[in-house]
A and B are shown apart, each in its own frame.
Chain A
Amino acid sequence: MIIARRNVVVGWLLLGVLMVVTLLPFVSMFTSALFPSGSYPIGISWPAHPQWGNFLSAFRAADMGVLLESSGLILLGVVPISLLISTFAGFALGHLRVRGGQVAFVLFLLGLTLPLEGIIVPLYYEVRGLGLLDTRWALILPLIGLFMPFSVYWMRAHFINAPRELSEAARVDGATTWQLFWRVHVPLARPALTSLGILLSVWTWNQFLLAIVLVDVPTNRTMAGALGAFQGQWGTNIPLLNAGSLLILAPTLILFIAFQRQFVTALLQGSLKG
């Protein structure tokens, strides 16, 4: 009993320390964001006169309204198409089991470990050749391709375990493969699709390297890419930089807290599968 209690205390202590360490950078950002713009706050301290207006200035300086719209458009371009075509592929590879599908699958698997830096040079020239530099398509199209290994892997893993009896029953009722896919299997795949959708949205939103290489206009970038530009512009104004960073973080944080269960499950499964 005594040992058990000591464990509980040690465990809580450890967890407490870890939570403090995890939150410290955010706290430090928050308190310094409230100091007068252009001043030099020291570490974590509460300002005598909190300047809540900094968030408004940062909102304007970062052009947040346009940024949100841009990131939203990129998400709308990347996520639905990625979900659709990876579900097709996962269905064919995992459930229909096309002949030679193994080869395609291994090819997709290879892409799972690929560092993006490895292909950034030719990707730049390819996107330039397509005349898409500085447009949102410069991010949308490569991201769809880059997400395929994980997405196909994920959907295939779902369809491998999908009940075959259902397909047989549907076929007996005269369903075509197309109907089988849309009427039977897509509705069943909804949880897998939700998790994948969350993961792809976060990864798109946070994509940085592609954004800074392929798009020079911050307002056509992803959130992370725009944040990079914001740092370049306001790097020496610590209160404003922190206020802006927090604003750019806010949408992700709100989504995370609202959907934390799905988020954590998705990220856990995502890393287990990836």
Chain B
Amino acid sequence: MNDLTRPSGAPHGAGAPRSHKERGAPRPRKGRGVPNRYWAFVAPALLAYAGFVLWPIVQTVRYSFYNWDGISTLQGAGLSNYRTVFTNGQLLGVIGHAFVLILYFSVIPIVLGLAVATAMRRFVSAKMSAVARVVLFLPQVVPLVAAGIAWNWMLSTTGAVDQILQKVGLGSLAHSWLGDFSTALPSVGIIGAWVLLGLCIVLLLAGMTKIESSLYEAAQLDGAGPLREFLSVTLPSIRQEIGVCVTVTVIAALSAFDIVYISTQGGPGNATMVPGLEIYQLAFYNRQMGLASALAVVLMVLVLVCILPIQWYVRRGSGDR
């Protein structure tokens, strides 16, 4: 982790003297003894990355300026695909859904995770945290597709959720959660919260157990209550872990695909359509490669715009402690 805290522009190992004395290597300028042929070590990884990530990114941007059905020749479209993305009510709604999902994928796991981790912090025994880690991590290990299938069944009219509601006398709430226009998107969000909550708890707890107890003792001597303690000792100390949780969960929310594909296919109507699934359907069902690519570019930029400030904030924060 210490590596993240290093400003990426700064030269590495500024304090460490370089000591490569490669035999027969040309004496480097300015004492930098690194022959260029070492790039051969980087080349295979760079090639794989360039071939299957960088090149497709360039192609996505290119396609976004054309109308293309995937078969006939490309037809220049200027900015019209982008205009469609930003003016078409349905596509704007799809992007809006991604932001609604942030509420469920990020806010719920992090707020709940903070509460649970704070409650658990004081008494975490090795045995208990081992059990907690294994169980709470299960959703991270199973494929999202399986989570989707399991919850699809749980949330159906004959599923466990309605069954439990009826048992506790809330039978009037029971219905098809994923089939109802008003509850479909929140239900998809809850599936995501279920997947990410365990990860957030374990991450935050790991951060909290590293805080020196003397900090809490000092706060208590100063007469701080539990809330004050949480705000001025716990929160600042786990800023980095919170940053990680936010980063991971926001990316998961904006690029959600598997869960939605399996549980609702974007329906009912367009109630749970998200950018990832819309790109997939535009490209492979409607054969509108240009529009799909424009939405893809918007999605990639959106993720960067959301993530870079968070990373910047977290890195800046770790410098002044």
Contact = CB atoms under 8 A, between A and B. Distances in A.
Given A92-B38, A113-B307, A118 B144 contact: no
Contacts, number: 323
B141 A263 contact: yes
A224 B307 CA distance: 28
A101 B141 CA distance: 34
B235 to A, nearest CB: 18
A60 interface: no
Interface in A198-247: 202, 205-206, 208-209, 212-213, 223-224, 227-228, 231, 238, 241-242, 245
Interface in B84-105: none
A263 B53 CA distance: 27
B199 A88 contact: no
A145 B138 contact: no
B82 interface: no
Interface stretch (B180-188, B211-219, B273-281): B273-281
Residue of A91, A181, A212, A257 with most chain B CB atoms under a 10 A cut-off: A212
Q: How large is the interface on A (under 10, 10 to 19, 20 to 34, 35 or more residues)?
A: 35 or more
Residue of A88, A119, A174, A238 with most chain B CB atoms under a 10 A cut-off: A119
A97 B136 CA distance: 39
Interface in B134-155: 134-147, 149-151, 153-154
A96 B135 contact: no
Contact of A92 (B39, B120, B293): B39
Contact of A144 (B48, B146, B255): B48
Contacts of B144: 206, 208, 224
A98 B244 CA distance: 29
A111 to B, nearest CB: 5
B22 interface: yes
B12 A121 contact: no
Contacts of B230: none
Contact of B258 (A45, A97, A202, A209): A209
A99 interface: yes
Interface of A: 4, 7-8, 10-12, 14-15, 18-19, 21-26, 28-29, 32, 40-45, 84-86, 88-89, 91-93, 96-99, 101-102, 104-109, 111, 113-126, 141-142, 144-146, 148-149, 151-152, 156-157, 160, 164, 167-168, 171, 174, 177, 181, 202, 205-206, 208-209, 212-213, 223-224, 227-228, 231, 238, 241-242, 245, 248-249, 252-253, 256-257, 260, 263-264, 267-268, 271-274
